Structure 1
Amino acid sequence: MAKAGRGSDQFPLRLPSGLRDRIKRKAEGNGRSMNEEIVRALEFAFPEPVSISARLEELQVLFTAMGKVRGYDTAVDILTEEILSVIEAAAEGRDPSIDEASISDLQKAVKSWHRAREKDLADRRKAVDEKYNSASEES
């Protein structure tokens, strides 16, 4: 059972024969304590859960930035559509490994994504209209 100590959970652990020595050698080689070495290994094996909503927001920012790169519009659009179709399938509940709360988060993110894409498209149209309207006024 975990015990509180130094502000962190403690857990007594039985190590198989020889493992303690391997951990000690590795820790010394890396200039860390055995505890730090064990915690790093555990963090690697058991990473912190990732929020689907947060990751989708990051993707939305990334695709907006990619869309501003000239000359790759078609490739960016194809990539965006493919990723969005995967996300939409998950949001529709077609992946049985995704729980209801995550599906709800995905649905909200997809709506937000569509709104952002519509705004981006409207901004692009406006920029093109302004460009050609100002060009025709100068003529």
Structure 2
Amino acid sequence: MAKKQLVKDQDKFIVRLPDGMRERIKAKADRAGMSMNEAIVWCLEREFPAPVTLEERLHDLANMVSMLKDSKDPYEGVEALIAEIEETVDKIASDKIPTDHRFSKMVYDRLTYWRELELDNWRDKHESPFDDENWSSSFSDAAGDPFPDFPGKEEKD
């Protein structure tokens, strides 16, 4: 267990609270069995968490893989692992997980390339040049016909 940091070694910050807030903080802290300082720090930690290191994140992912091996429902585990990996890569690419600048740039470039490939793959799977909505409903002239010289096509009057 980590030792608690000595109070004299901690940063001190004075803040002005609006009327009534001190009493609200005190009441909630008392109900939670905390000091006002602990309650305020707890709230601040939720809104301003310490950055996760790449090593910590990779350790978490390795634990997920380990749990996945023992899982009775591997499909759900794989889905969760993929989501976590995507989130990690995105955080590295956007500098939310601090790494060497060259590494985060490389991850960003590869992530951008991968997303472009995914978009192309989605289009290949979901868009068709033969969908009726891609063409006008009547081909009254050759200019509107996508296949004007199609062999065996009957001439329109």
TM superposition score normalised by structure 1:
0.49
Larger-gyration structure (1/2): 2
Higher strand share: 1
Higher helix share: 1
